Amino acid sequence: MIDLIRQVSAALLMFSASALAHNPICECKAIDAGQIKCTGGFSDGSGAPGVTLDVIGYDETILVPGRLGADSTLTFKKPDTEFYVLFDVGPGHVVEIDQADIQAP
């Protein structure tokens, strides 16, 4: 019985570790007063080249449609209106960053 519990526990740990290994992460920083650079990837350290990263106004208008480059980054001109960044890896795997949470230079 104890061996069965150990085997089940080991299997649960293995599955929970794999579920956590690929969470999307995104960070945005102002590189000067007018430009913002966002870097996207996954919690296992892998990059996300080609993944959608859009800059969206509070009225839901897409201000800057984008995709991460080969280096998993996107640099864009800071919009003149209120906005947030949407890093969209797929259904249920999105990261939103509000303009207020973007680090100043």
Report pLDDT digits (tens) over 32-53.
999 999 999 999 999 999 999 9
Asked if residue 86 is part of any domain, the answer here is yes
Asked if residue 18 is part of any domain, the answer here is no
- The CATH number linked to 50 is 2.60.40.10
Order of all β-strands in the sheet with 35-42: 24-32, 35-42, 73-77
What is the token pair recorded at 41? 């990837």
The reported pLDDT for the residue numbered 8 is 44
Model confidence band, residue 7 (pLDDT cutoffs 50, 70, 90): low
Asked if residue 95 is part of any domain, the answer here is yes
Could you list the residue range(s) of the whole structural domain that residue 46 is in? 23-101
> In what helix (H) or strand (E) does residue 12 lie, and over which residues does it extend?
helix 2-20
Degrees, nearest 5: CA angle 84-87-89:
155
The reported pLDDT for the residue numbered 22 is 84
Number of domains within the chain: 1
